[in-house]
Structure 1
Amino acid sequence: MKSLRITSLMVGLAGLATVSSCTNDHLIDAQIPETNKEPTSASIQGNVFEPALVEATDARIAQLKLPAGFKIAKFADKLGKPRMLAVSPAGNVYVTSREAGTVTLLIDSDADGKADQNQVVANLKAVHGITIHEGKMYLVTVKEVYRADINSNGTLGTLQQLINNLPDGGQHPNRTIDFGPDGLMYLTVGSTCNACAEPNAENATILRANPDGSGRIIFASGLRNTIGFDWHPQTGELYGLDHGIDWLGDEQQKEELNQIKPGAFYGWPYIYGDGAYNPHPRPMGDTTYAQILAKTTLPSYSYEAHAAPMGLIFYTATYFPAEYQNDAFATMRGSWNRTKPSGYKVVRVHFENGKPVRIDDFVTGFLVDNNRAQFGRPVGITTMPDGSLLFTDDNNGVIYRVSYQK
């Protein structure tokens, strides 16, 4: 039997919440036996706080903080709720809007760091993930994958459906897509719930398929909701940022940076963090927590709970200082399930000898008014051909560009 102590204020497990009469955070013991032959007893509580949304004014953007030498400015705005990004070798920027069901082409024709052309090039309900592979555009909705030729002017040819039977979305419908060094298609499929036994084995996974959508397999499982993922440019190893379970308290479950290995299982919904037992749901049948833990691959690194990681890219350009090469950038959209906000920023993931060693702030300041308000929730992130970074904010409809002045 394991014991744990959790800071708390409101209870919620597997999407079912009950309100506690407590008015202050306190420490509560939880007893979690290995099997259901003994009772499970846990009082797990958490907070809800969402900062108010305010406008992305010039004055607020001017107070954003970045390391010395870096600058940030709007690349484009008035885009509704932009999500994921892709950039062609010619520098054409494509952004999806799940809410509007659109893919928009943005062009900076005079190379001044701001888009001056804006055109919707695809209409596709609930489109989210986007990537470019061998000169073709790939798009993913909740259940479908499409491919299209990219015309010389940046517009798209006819969308060809490759897959039409991805699992239902449920709580996590935000599919993402990319191609690995092996030339194969990788798709993220989140869980339908906060914590539950999924009836469809393809939920809470990363899938792999051929470029035409055939030969689909489960590449890795036990991943609650991995949206951002990329391959280390030196080792070729795949890393992904997984969203932790909600309603386990302000400081749990921490967000996980996992090295995603073929056939590996990452613990969800039974094991979280460095081997902690989730009180509910319990393992089914005679399976014990210890048995599940024994087959669980634990995180390579952890980050603040509820920060909501969205995009992850390794930096390989030469525009930023040399020490940034082969590190990663990640967007943290921001919390709602804790007292003090976490996330609402872009971070840098430092790698040494091919392994993550720490995570530092890179763009901060979207939280204002003593953390009572925010004007940016970063989501998609990509690199421009010149080496600058772009990332989206899906609250105020902005794409930001991060540049560097030597």
Structure 2
Amino acid sequence: MKTRTTLFLSAALAGVIGLSCSKDSGFWDSFIPETDEEPTSAQINGYIFRPALVPVTPERIQQMKVPAGFKVQAFAQELGKPRILAVSSQGHVYFSDRDAGVVMLLQDTNNDGVAERKQTVATIKQAHGLAIHNSKLYIASVQDLYVADMNSDGTLGQPKLIKSGLPDGGQHPNRTLAFGPDGQMYYSIGSTCNSCPEPNALNATMVRMNPDGSNMKIYAKGLRNTIGFGWHPETKEFWGLDHGIDWLGDDDQKEEVNLIKENANYGWPYIYGEGKYNPGDRPPGDTTYQQYLQLSTQPSLTYQAHAAPMQMAFYTGSQFPSDYQGDAFVAMRGSWNRSKPVGYSIVRLHFENGKPVRFEDFLTGFLVDNNRSHIGRPVGVAVHADGSLLVSDDTNGVIYRISRQ
């Protein structure tokens, strides 16, 4: 059932009475003042639409769509709520289940495309982010960071706490991490809110630290919630997908593809998208919107608002055609803050000359019943050691495998 929520708010001198969206830049010039000396007034239509969850069946898996020459199958089922994926060079597949507080190991022992082995290898409250580095598995919870030795059979040694006291999660507790070409750990800390000035400078940032958790520094800021990120395998440039602000209408804020650079500011919560002003939050002190815009780095590419980008993986395997090399796959978990659902898919992010140029659907069919129901919301995406692509769904507890026919 769809619930429509119409937000109409007006503002007095020092407060915003409403949020707004418009593609007309003149609207922003007229209604979003640079100082508190003028009122702010804005209006939007806000929606909530959550497609119903229905069981996954063999028939529904068969109706899922992938490009010609590919096939999709269930790699493992009845997994709880699998989130982030990590795969070792030996083909050991790890996934986190934040709600259960575990890290699980899957293995396809007979190379038939289905995991026969399933084993709990770590128990950590709110475990989420996973990354493999130097034969160790790094595990991120909301405020803590652990590392465990990886044994030859895929099991883990006792996880060791290497970092604690990280910021509370608030609205965005899903920490993710990865290791860059420089051997340093990059760790995403989302905002605590939809749109607000953060009292803790670490929120809405990407931080960098040594593999042992020491020497943590803010690498980039103004990133509302960059769960999926990675480095282009050829250029080694650092790319991430940031979640846009909710309640700015069906088509704002679009999801952002950002080239993440050291000391850059990506605008949140004051500037979003292609330089738009957020009427809900005014820059602090005497700083004007225009001045803050000049300090902000704009996205390289955008995607449909509210699609909710999750894990991202550059394709480096050998199974897919050669033109997939250097492109990235992104799990779009799907909207709730929109009148018609978007996302609920895996998309291919095309790169040309090292730069992102367009998105293309790669795996669809999670939405069923004329988009009124769904069989899954993708979260994790990872390249298996055999070159296939793995995709996790945390609603029906399935990990899918996409391979060449």
How high is the TM-score relative to the length of structure 1?
0.93
Deviation at 1:152, TM superposition (A): 2.0
Question: Counterparts in 2 of 1:361-380, with a 5 A limit?
Answer: 361-380=361-380
- Aligned-residue offset at 1:386: 1.0
The unaligned stretches of length 5 or more in structure 2 are 10-15
Per the alignment, residue 274 of structure 1 pairs with 274
Aligned to 2:307: 307
May I ask how many residue pairs the two structures share in their alignment?
391
For the pair 1:10 / 2:3, whether they are aligned, the reply is no
* Rounded Cα–Cα distance in structure 2 between residues aligned with 1:19 and 1:394: 34
Equivalence for 2:92: 92
Looking at structure 2, the residues matched to 114 and 18 of structure 1 have their Cα atoms a distance apart, in angstroms, of 54
Quick check: 1:186–1:207 contact (8 Å CA) kept in 2?
Answer: yes
Matched residue type, 1:222 = G
**Contact persistence 2:139–2:147 (CA under 8 A):** yes
Structure 2 counterpart of 1:70: 70
Given the two structures, how large is their TM-score scaled by the length of structure 2? 0.94
After alignment, is 41-50 or 292-301 more displaced? 41-50
Q: Which residue of 2 aligns with 1:237?
A: 237
In 2, Cα distance between the equivalents of 1:339 and 1:66? Answer: 26
Matched-pair contact (CA < 8 Å) for 1:79–1:398? yes
* Structure 2 letter corresponding to 1:234: E
Give the distance between the partners of 1:386 and 1:260, measured in 2 at CA: 30
- 1:185 aligned residue: 185
Partners of 2:45 and 2:209 lie apart in 1 by 40
Q: How does 1:101-116 map to 2 (within 5 A)?
A: 101-116=101-116
RMSD of aligned alpha carbons: 2.0
> How far off its partner does 1:10 sit?
2.2
Deviation at 1:253, TM superposition (A): 0.3
Question: What is the SS of the residue equivalent to 2:104?
Answer: strand
Q: Which runs of 5+ in 1 are unaligned?
A: 1-7, 21-26
1:12 deviates by 8.6
The residue that corresponds to 2:82 in the other structure is: 82
Partner of 1:222: 222
- Per-residue CA deviation, residues 154-200 of structure 1 (Å, 9 max, x unaligned), is 11111111100111100000000110000000100000000000000
- In the TM superposition, residue 365 of structure 1 has moved relative to its aligned partner by 1.1
- Three-state SS of the structure 2 residue aligned to 1:10 is strand
Query: Which residue of 2 is the match for residue 173 of structure 1?
Result: 173
Match of 1:160 in 2: 160
Aligned residue in 1 for 2:60: 60
Contact 2:86 2:93 in 1 (8 A): yes
Give the 5 Å matches for 1:124-139. 124-139=124-139
Deviation at 1:44, TM superposition (A): 2.8
1:323 maps to: 323
Higher mean displacement: 152-161 or 350-359: 152-161
> What does residue 208 of structure 2 align with?
208
Distance 1:306 1:339 in 2: 11
Structure 1 position 138, deviation (Å): 0.3
Partner residue in 2 for 1:251 = 251
Q: Tell me the distance in 2 between the aligned counterparts of 1:9 and 1:120.
A: 42
State how far apart, in whole Å, the 2-side matches of 1:58 and 1:132 are.
32
State the percentage of identical aligned residues.
61
In structure 2, the residue matched to 1:5 is none
User: 1:387, 1:152 → 2: CA distance?
Assistant: 21
Aligned partner of 2:34: which letter? E
Stretches of 4+ moved more than 2 A in 1?
8-13, 17-20, 27-30
1:249-302 deviation line (CA, Å, top 9, x unaligned): 000000001010011000000001100000011111111000110010000100
Cα distance, 1:372 vs structure 2:
0.4
Letter in 2 for 1:146: Y
Aligned partners of 2:387 and 2:155: how far apart in 1?
23
Q: Distance in 2 between matches of 1:210 and 1:364?
A: 38
Quote the offset at 1:35 in angstroms.
1.4
SS of aligned partner of 1:264: coil
Shift of 1:317: 1.4
Partner of 2:287: 287
